[in-house]
């Protein structure tokens, strides 16, 4: 673990953080237990937000953190969530311990949302679905389960690139992780051939992580026909698909569309694992509402898996926090609220899509020579602009536009107020 952290330190270290580290190692030794604790590497995205906060420039823009913002740049509490909160409060529920796996009404509802109301895998009770601490909790629990109970190749293949925390969770679990091609920097699109080639060589039985929709950080999703090809080769290699679905509804604005890949794989007979998050699509970020599903083939196996998952939950946090889950449950099981929610999530997705259009139009309109179609081809909260690190640095230093070094922007941070400014800035640093 110490070795891995040292490596991460070198990778992510930014000049302005070196002082802190040098400062610490320069300390005199004292008779405490903690002397040998190394300074952990700083979190890249949090670092950007901190720098943004300190900046006093009037036109500064934060395109770093992946949290939705409305057209005024403000956090958005979904009307359906507000309504659900009112209902919840009027019920005067108590705070007694939840079951270890979460309330059954919650897990049933979220499984149906993901797999479809009439999904056979739910009907035959072959799914083991547990409430988790949002998406991260689901990934951690699922991967830890694999390290303890999966008999085959305990290695996981991640798309290139992927969410920064994916490999970190794997490292924490000492689960070897490797990469398959995904993003094509030449086209700023999906590298189907590269992916198929790499996947066809993955050792049988390995786990393959797939982003169900709205890939983070690139925003590049495979087309339906691409998914069909992926499904085929994954089946041929007998790989174990683990879907990370953090943006259902948020990508196209339609929850069923966004679950296409997951449902296709289920139809094709894959027994997938699925991590779900309600952080973005219900704006419940800090309440940590999520779920993990194993498709186990039959009810009996699902029950056995459940018994083991519960033991793992018990030794991590005993049972899950209910506040967020109760809101999700309320929304999904109340027809009127659910309808309202579907509208809210479409509204968010539509605003993102509109901002993508306007950003692209702004850059192209300035006469910029480079192709910018990928801005509208990509989907979801994030966009891999294709900007190089030097260009990113200029964007931040000269224009006070904050984004990650890899050129990723959070489209949610764009508004009608700042889209022209951002377009102009991108144009300037790329011409």
Partner 1 sequence: MASRFQGVEQGPPIEVFLLNRLFTEDTFQNKVNLGVGAYRDENGKPWVLPIVRKMEKQLAADETLLHEYLPVLGLEQFCNASVAMLLGEDSPAIAAGKAFGVQVLSGTGGLRVGAEFLNKHLKYDTFYYSTPTWENHHLVFVNSGFTKPRSYRYWDPKTRGIDFDGFIEDLKSAPENAVILLHACAHNPTGIDPTREQWMKIADVMEERKLFPFFDSAYQGFASGDLDGDAWAVRYFVSRGFELVCAQSYAKNFGLYNERVGNLAVVLNESAHVARIKSQMTWIVRGMYSNPPAHGAHVVAAVLTNKQLFDEWRDHIKLMSTRVMQMREALRSELVKLGTPGNWDHIVKQIGLFSYTGLNQRQCEYLIQEYHIYLLKSGRINICGLNPGNVQYVAKAINDAVTKFPDDHDNRAKL
The reply to whether 419 sits near partner 1 by the rule CB under 8 A is no
Q: Which of residues 243-262 bind partner 1 (CB under 8 A)?
A: none
Q: List residues bridging with 401 in a β-sheet.
A: 61
The reply to whether 96 sits near partner 1 by the rule CB under 8 A is yes
Instruction: Pick the piece of the chain touching partner 1 (CB under 8 A) from 211-219, 290-298, 360-368, 373-381.
Output: 290-298
Q: What is the largest CA-CA distance in the chain?
A: 65
The reply to whether 81 sits near partner 1 by the rule CB under 8 A is yes
For partner 1, the closer CB: 279 or 352? 279
Say how many CA atoms lie within 13 Å of 235 toward its Cβ.
14
Q: Out of 105, 187, 319, 368, which residue is the one contacting partner 1 (CB under 8 A)? A: 319
CB of residue 173 vs partner 1: minimum separation in angstroms?
Answer: 8
Closest listed residue to residue 230, CA positions, set 186, 193, 183: 193
Please name the helix (run of DSSP H) or strand (run of DSSP E) that holds residue 133, with its range, or none: strand 127-133
For partner 1, the closer CB: 150 or 373? 150
The reply to whether 69 sits near partner 1 by the rule CB under 8 A is no
Q: Copy the structure tokens of residue 173.
A: 């679990």
The reply to whether 347 sits near partner 1 by the rule CB under 8 A is no
For partner 1, the closer CB: 40 or 343? 40
Any idea which residues carry the catalytic annotation? 163, 244, 280
DSSP 358-415: HHHHHHHHTT-SS--THHHHS-SSEEE----HHHHHHHHHHH-EE--TT-EEEGGG--
CB of residue 152 vs partner 1: minimum separation in angstroms?
Answer: 7
DSSP E strand boundaries for 82-122: none
CB of residue 93 vs partner 1: minimum separation in angstroms?
Answer: 8
DSSP β-ladder status, 207-211 and 240-245: parallel
CB of residue 24 vs partner 1: minimum separation in angstroms?
Answer: 6
Q: Copy the structure tokens of residue 328.
A: 């999700």
Closest listed residue to residue 404, CA positions, set 220, 195, 161, 171: 161
For partner 1, the closer CB: 270 or 360? 270
The reply to whether 335 sits near partner 1 by the rule CB under 8 A is no
Instruction: Pick the piece of the chain touching partner 1 (CB under 8 A) from 181-189, 309-317, 332-340, 383-391.
Output: 309-317
Cα 21 to Cα 17, 35, 47, distances in angstroms: 7, 13, 15
Instruction: Pick the piece of the chain touching partner 1 (CB under 8 A) from 93-101, 225-233, 259-267, 333-341.
Output: 93-101
């Amino acid at each position: 673990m110490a070795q891995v952290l040292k490596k991460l330190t070198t990778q992510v270290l930014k000049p302005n953080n070196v002082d802190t580290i040098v400062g610490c190692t320069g300390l005199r030794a004292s008779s405490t237990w903690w002397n040998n604790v190394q300074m952990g590497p700083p979190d890249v995205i949090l670092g950007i937000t901190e720098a943004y906060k300190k900046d006093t420039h009037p036109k500064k823009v934060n395109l770093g953190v992946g949290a939705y913002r409305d057209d005024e740049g403000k956090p958005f509490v979904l009307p359906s969530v507000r309504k659900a909160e009112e209902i919840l409060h009027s019920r005067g529920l108590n705070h007694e311990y939840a079951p270890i796996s979460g309330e059954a009404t919650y897990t049933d509802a979220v499984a149906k949302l993901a797999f479809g109301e009439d999904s056979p895998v739910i009907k035959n009770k072959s799914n083991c679905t547990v409430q988790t601490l949002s998406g991260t909790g689901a990934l951690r629990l699922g991967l830890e389960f694999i390290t303890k109970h999966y008999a085959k190749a305990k290695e996981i293949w991640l798309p290139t690139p992927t969410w920064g925390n994916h490999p970190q969770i794997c490292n924490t679990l000492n689960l070897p992780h490797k990469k398959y091609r995904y993003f094509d920097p030449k086209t700023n699109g999906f590298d189907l051939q590269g992916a198929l080639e790499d996947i066809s060589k993955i050792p049988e039985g390995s786990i393959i992580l797939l982003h169900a929709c709205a890939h983070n950080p690139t925003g590049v999703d495979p087309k339906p026909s691409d998914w069909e090809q992926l499904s085929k080769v994954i089946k041929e290699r007998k790989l174990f698909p683990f879907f990370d679905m953090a943006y259902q509804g948020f990508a196209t604005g339609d929850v069923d569309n966004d679950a296409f890949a997951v449902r296709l794989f289920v139809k094709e007979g894959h027994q997938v694992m699925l991590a779900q998050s309600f952080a973005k699509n219900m704006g419940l970020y800090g309440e940590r509402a999520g779920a993990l599903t194993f498709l186990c083939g039959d009810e009996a196996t699902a029950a056995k898996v459940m018994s083991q998952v519960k033991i793992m939950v018990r030794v991590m946090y005993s049972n899950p926090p209910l506040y967020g889950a109760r809101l999700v449950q309320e929304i999904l099981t109340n027809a009127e609220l659910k309808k309202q929610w579907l509208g809210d999530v479409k509204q968010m997705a539509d605003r993102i899509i509109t901002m993508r259009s306007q950003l692209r139009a702004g850059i192209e309109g300035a006469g910029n020579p480079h192709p910018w179609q990928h801005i509208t081809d990509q989907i979801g909260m994030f966009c891999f602009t294709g900007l190089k690190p030097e260009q990113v640095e200029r964007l931040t230093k000269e224009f006070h536009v904050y984004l990650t070094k890899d050129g990723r922007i959070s489209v949610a941070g764009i508004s009608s107020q700042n889209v022209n400014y951002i377009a102009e800035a991108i144009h300037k640093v790329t011409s």
